[in-house]
Amino acid sequence: MQQRGLDIEIVSLRHPTDASTHPVHDEISAPVTYLPEYLYQEPRRVFAAWLKARRLPGYGRAFRTWIRDLRRDRTPNRVRRFGQACVVAAEVAPEVSHLHAHFLHTPASVARYAAMMTGLPWTCSAHAKDIYTSPDWEIREKLGDCGWLVTCTAANCDHLRNLAPDPDKVALVYHGLDLSRWPAPEDRDGGRDGTDAANPVRLVSVGRAVEKKGYDDLLAALAQMPKDLAWRLDHIGGGPLRDKLQQLAEQSGLQDRITWHGAQAQDAVRRAYQEADLFVLAPKIAADGDRDGLPNVMMEAQSQGLAIVTTAVSAVPELISDGVNGILNPPGDPATLAASLARLIGDPALRRRMGDAGRERVLHDFAMERGIDDLAARFNLGR
């Protein structure tokens, strides 16, 4: 949007925690304002903002809405949302004409309350966790208030339209890839078939070590594969369950076959795809309802010509056609996942056909430009 000419100020609810950034981040010149992550950390700023916000014409409506929400959600986070909204409303520059929330849960609450106070229009993007861990009443009311909402999968779109007072407010806009950053890969060594222990088939998985990514199921599947099948797995990603998963791998006798790389920059991720033979991810619905939408890492892997072994959860089947550009398995079924992995490990020709089909799928249906064009029109930008 910045490259298309949209004048943006980024307002962040939290301070960054990742030590590394991707090169694309260096291209963003929009100023960033950090809200008080916790209200007690900046009491003078919060109090001054509240004094100013309470004089705004829409403050009364925002306060009544917040009290109604608080009665249904008596949490510190709900209080923090209103305090942060007061800061946004009090500090927003006079030339700002629009608020956009880039997640339907906490960011949308802050934007909604601030929009009420200031009288500015607001819109929203919705993704995955923010949809499926939010109560229906809150989603319904936010959809009633916002100007429009875009979401990144057809599964999300159907779910949100069923909750929306006006379904026409909800639209599907796939994220897509900037294919200039994901050029065609060089030919890889496609002959590995799992029979040579000195030249094992290389599996790669990219994802945070959290419940919804299904890494416990993946480790169980790998433990069930034939012992004489030659493979190695490279995992890229941080996450709170990483130490626990490493312990599980050791208990399963897999520690010598898995390398845990931690979070990596985009260039390193791209090299990992190019050096791999097969991509695997086993997402599932977490106990709290959280789930993936359509993981971008699958589009990235397919852009590099990798076949995919995964699970038929949420919007994954919107990208992966079973037997065409990958294999879909039932979530939470390590035995079936193991059989699918063993099949593709042993069949390099099938991997190549699926990888080629996957790259064509991404090029045809998941290039970034289509989604950018849609958003540009929504923000009244020219091409």
Tabulate helix, strand, coil % of the chain (nearest 5).
45, 15, 40
Burial 299-316 (b: 16+ CB within 10 A, else e): bbbbbbbbbbbbbebbbb
pLDDT by residue (tens digit) across 292-305?
889 999 999 999 99
Structure confidence at residue 216 as a pLDDT band (50, 70, 90): very high
pLDDT at 17: 83
**Of 117, 129, 146, residue with least CA distance to 49:** 117
- Phi–psi pair at 156, nearest 5 degrees: -60, -45
Helix (H) or strand (E) holding 308: strand 307-311
Q: Average pLDDT for residues 219-248, to the nearest whole number?
A: 97
**Of 260, 284, 280, 381, residue with least CA distance to 332:** 284
Distances (CA, A) of 338 to 241, 282, 335, 379: 22, 11, 5, 46
pLDDT at 187: 75
pLDDT at 18: 76
pLDDT at 190: 74
- Residue ranges and CATH numbers for the domains of the chain are 10-176+367-378 (3.40.50), 180-365 (3.40.50.2000)
Q: What percent of the chain has pLDDT over 90?
A: 90
Compute the distance between CA of residue 236 and CA of residue 238 in angstroms, rounded to an integer: 7
pLDDT at 37: 95
Which has more pLDDT, 19 or 141?
141
| Type of residue numbered 336 | T
Compute the distance between CA of residue 127 and CA of residue 151 in angstroms, rounded to an integer: 6
> What is the model's pTM?
0.85
pLDDT by residue (tens digit) across 54-101?
999 999 999 999 999 999 999 999 999 999 999 999 999 999 999 999
Question: Residue 129 pLDDT more than 80?
Answer: yes
pLDDT by residue (tens digit) across 320-336?
999 999 999 999 999 99
pLDDT at 335: 98
Average pLDDT, the chain: 95
Helix (H) or strand (E) holding 309: strand 307-311
Compute the distance between CA of residue 46 and CA of residue 55 in angstroms, rounded to an integer: 15
Q: Average pLDDT for residues 357-381, to the nearest whole number?
A: 93
Q: What order of strands is seen across the sheet that includes strand 231-236?
A: 258-260, 231-236, 201-206, 278-280, 307-311, 326-329
Q: What order of strands is seen across the sheet that includes strand 149-151?
A: 99-101, 122-126, 149-151, 170-172
Structure confidence at residue 362 as a pLDDT band (50, 70, 90): very high
pLDDT at 383: 56
Distances (CA, A) of 204 to 24, 45, 186, 342: 23, 46, 17, 14
pLDDT by residue (tens digit) across 142-154?
999 999 999 999 9
Q: How many CA atoms lie within 13 A of 101 on its CB side?
A: 32
pLDDT by residue (tens digit) across 169-208?
999 999 889 998 898 887 777 789 999 999 999 999 999 9
Compute the distance between CA of residue 150 and CA of residue 104 in angstroms, rounded to an integer: 10
Hey, what are 125's tokens?
Answer: 């993007």
